[in-house]
Structure 1
Amino acid sequence: MNIYLYHYRFASVAGGQEHRRAALASRRHVSRQILRSCLSHHAQVAPDAWGFQRGEYGKPALLSHQQRQYRLQFNLSHSRDWLVLAIADDADANVFLGVDVEQPKARRNLSGIAQHYFSEAENAQLGGLAEADFPRVFYPLWVLKESYVKATGRGLAQSLQGFGFQLPQTGVPITTAWQTVLGTGMAKNVAWYHAYRPFADGYLGLTLGLGHGAGHRMGFTADDIQLIPIATPPSGQ
């Protein structure tokens, strides 16, 4: 199994409310084009022939018969001007994939968010950090948590305080490589694998779950993950 992370940066949106509304609608359209086009890189299917459905809690997925035939799983994430699309190949219905990208936002109450959504052990990792170091620990934890809830497909229907992650002992990651981490409190009967890395001005989080009968008994390494920039989005779909 390989995981492909396609990423595209939209032009920044400025102007009045009407202009921003139109720009955001355009982004949604382009995002759908990118999804269809990238899926077609992994199967001999025309981009407009892909069909989609939503799970019980709203997670998008391929129609069941297409997923069985082409063995692809995907997940999308947006943050500010960035779109990230994760696609896993050779992935059956017992493979769970989630990705999250986060770009820091000015004047965001990170400490308040952590107190409300992070586990006790995660808040302990943040305790005592200098103000400048706080975001460099907060955001890796946040993208890991977001990627996990997206992989499960249950989103915020599950408590974010009920599970957590332990970052490397250095506490303040400075490497640009993927870092794998361990999680606690995860859904049972699934082997969960988690990783994060710096990306642009923020962070990427990735979660892979292998359920019973998934046909894969190992998670991923850095060599299994490919970051692929999209210079120009597809058109005419």
Structure 2
Amino acid sequence: VREPCPLCAAPHGRPAVAGQAEEAGGLHFSLSHSGGFALVALAAAPVGADLEEVPRPNVVDNLESQLHPLEQQQLAALAPADRPAAFARCWTRKEAYLKGTGTGLGEDPSRTPVGAGPRPEPVPGWLLADVPVPTGHAAAWALRTG
């Protein structure tokens, strides 16, 4: 089933297990797949997961305007060869968080900074973590804590 969208209340929000998500401690899940890999997150609170292949440099150049200014600064401070992996790390954190909120990319991705550095930036009410994956990929999950 689909939960109501937090932005418009239409039934196209986060996927849910029927009869579970609205209950305290009910089962919440998120699924992502890319490049032959899949990532599933299960939790007793809203959760999001994202898995992506590291993009080519021209993709980073085209999409970095979708990031928060802090994240854009973090990317600009890196050597060009390091930017694609940092962008992928940032983007998977961002998508995991937005999936967890139930808005997905319906919310402006530049609104909340999640960081492009080695560790996620703190997001109030959420725990974000990177997931170890093979070289050439990035993955993260986000869990609502508050």
Instruction: Using structure 1 for the length normalisation, give the TM-score.
Output: 0.52
Number of equivalenced pairs: 138
| 8 Å contact from structure 2 (residues 57, 84) kept in 1 | no
Distance in 2 separating the partners of 1:62 and 1:145:
23
Distance in 1 separating the partners of 2:46 and 2:32:
15
Is 1:134–2:90 an aligned residue pair? no
- After the TM superposition, which of the residue ranges 193-202 and 106-115 deviates more from structure 2? 106-115
Identify which of 205, 208, 213 aligns with 2:140: 205
What is the Cα deviation at residue 165 of structure 1?
A: 2.1
CA deviations on 1:85-137 (whole Å, 9 max, x unpaired) are 1112xx1xxx210000111244751122011x101110000114222111121
Higher strand share: 1
Identify which of 109, 119, 123 aligns with 2:68: 119
Quote the residue 1:87 is aligned against: 42
What SS class does the counterpart of residue 79 from structure 2 fall into? coil
> Which protein shows a greater Rg?
1
Quote the residue 2:8 is aligned against: none
Quote the residue 1:146 is aligned against: 95
Letter in 1 for 2:98: V
What is the Cα deviation at residue 56 of structure 1?
A: 2.3
| 8 Å contact from structure 1 (residues 67, 73) kept in 2 | no
Distance in 1 separating the partners of 2:129 and 2:25:
25
Distance in 1 separating the partners of 2:111 and 2:21:
34
Distance in 2 separating the partners of 1:111 and 1:209:
31
Identify which of 104, 123, 140 aligns with 1:155: 104
Distance in 2 separating the partners of 1:202 and 1:65:
32
Distance in 1 separating the partners of 2:49 and 2:94:
10
- Say what the alpha-carbon RMSD is for the aligned residues: 2.4
Identify which of 106, 114, 126 aligns with 1:192: 126
| Structure 2 segments unaligned to the other structure (5+ residues) | 6-11
Moved over 6 A (4+): none
Instruction: Using structure 2 for the length normalisation, give the TM-score.
Output: 0.81
CA deviations on 1:179-225 (whole Å, 9 max, x unpaired) are 5x3335x6xxxx211111341231111100024xxxxxxxxxxxxxx
Distance in 2 separating the partners of 1:102 and 1:118:
16
CA deviations on 1:1-35 (whole Å, 9 max, x unpaired) are xxxxxxxxxxxxxxxxxxxxxxxxxxxxxxxxxxx
